[in-house]
Amino acid sequence: MRPIQAAFPATRFRRNRRTDALRRLTQENTLSVNDLIWPVFVRAGEGIEEPVASMPGVFRRSVDLIARAAVEAEAMGIPAICVFPYTDQSLRSEDCAEAWNPDNLSNRAIRAIKRAAPGIAVMTDVALDPYSTHGQDGLMQGGTVLNDETLEALVKMTLAQADAGADIIGPSDMMDGRIGAMRSALEGAGHKDVAIMSYSAKYASAFYGPFRDAVGASANLKGDKKTYQMNPANGDEALRLVARDLAEGADMVMVKPGMPYLDICRRVKEEFRVPTYAYQVSGEYAMIEAAAQNGWIDGDRAMVESLLAFKRAGCDGILTYYAPRIAPLL
């Protein structure tokens, strides 16, 4: 039903905008620290914090400094931290066996975070691109990314992360059937309380470039990921993917990237009414930061505005590299 309102001048929308107090009273959406998931990059070594050139203000940290960052995040009230590894090239292989090594970078980081900041939830990434020699998210044969064979590898990776103490598994691979396979494996291994946040609607996007630099996958990537990631022209397909993942046992769903797909966020939330998240990906972050550093936009205002857009679109939370920067403001 369309709202009823009197004609001008009986209705003046500017009345509710006149003062800060009135604007706050009539604000429809609110951004909170509880909405934040902080993606972090872990690398080998000790006492190391190196900048990611294409993501100003973002760093690869060694495990000890990741744990320290988690303590700081917990103190700021950030509820979750998501771990992505920068795997040494010597540990990458065609079979991606390092992905389920109990002592790989991700699993060491999970354990370190849980020891240092037990109150913060640890989310992981489940995909093979940080561990492969070809940069694809699955196993390959003759130039083709294999679906069913990849599922076996992803399940082993999932169980290793759950054993390490992960609270939320984040499958970003986009293989068909992976949520059902992971949920069944987690239940069978006694990890019934480990949640799955599925990258259900993950698009084959141009906005991932800086992230691939951060995890060291850019130079390895052969070809593209269009055979398994979504066509940016499709919207209805996203709803079918979300429905499938929920039916297979996903607890939460994600749309990735975020800002170019706010319409998908809104459609998912309205259709399913489940916990819905968006990933403000590296390219989105890098664009805002590059423009801010050149003095073309107000970086802090653009940061807040961009994050509020996700809330307006219906998201329950956002994965954002801005988490530690905006948390104190909130």
Average pLDDT on 159-178 reads 97
Which of residues 4 and 120 earns the better pLDDT score?
120
Segment holding 42, helix H or strand E: strand 36-43
Classify residue 21: in a domain, yes or no: no
The 10s digit of each residue's pLDDT in 219-259 is: 677 778 999 999 999 999 999 999 999 999 999 999 999 99
Domain CATH for 175: 3.20.20.70
Lookup: tokens for 307: 């994050």
Identify the burial level of 47 via C-beta atoms within 10 angstroms of its C-beta, where 0-12 means exposed, 13-18 middle and 19 or more buried.
exposed
User: Residue 215: pLDDT band by 50, 70, 90 thresholds?
Assistant: confident
Catalytic position from the list 225, 256, 269, 311: 256
Owning domain of residue 286: 30-329
| Residue 3 pLDDT | 77
Measure CA 302 to chain center. 20
Which residue, among 194, 132, 129, 134, has the nearest Cα to 159 in the 3D structure? Answer: 194
Q: Indicate the pairing of strand 59-62 with strand 36-43.
A: parallel
Residue 13 lies in a domain: no
How many domains in the chain? 1
Give the HSE-up count for residue 6: Cα atoms under 13 Å, Cβ half-sphere: 6
How far, in Å, CA of 235 to CA of 253, rounded? 15
What CA–CA distance (Å, rounded) separates 201 from 196? 14
Identified catalytic residue from 202, 225, 269, 311? 202
The 10 Å CB-count burial string (b at 16+, else e) for 265-277 is: bbbbbeeeeebbb
Interval 255-289: pLDDT, tens: 999 999 999 999 999 999 999 999 999 999 999 99
191 found inside a domain: yes
* Within-domain flag for 17: no
Q: Is 256 a catalytic residue?
A: yes
Two tokens, residue 256 = 């990735």
Identify whether 14 is part of a domain.
Answer: no
In this predicted structure, the answer to whether residue 218 has a pLDDT above a threshold of 70 is no
DSSP state of 3: P
Residue 206: Cβ within 10 Å count: 10
User: Is residue 20 included in any domain, yes or no?
Assistant: no
pLDDT above 70 as % of the chain: 99
Q: What is the spatial distance between Cα 69 and Cα 278, in angstroms, rounded to a whole number? A: 22
Confirm whether 11 is domain-assigned.
Answer: no
189/204 Cα distance (integer angstroms) = 33
Residue 160 belongs to some domain of the structure: yes
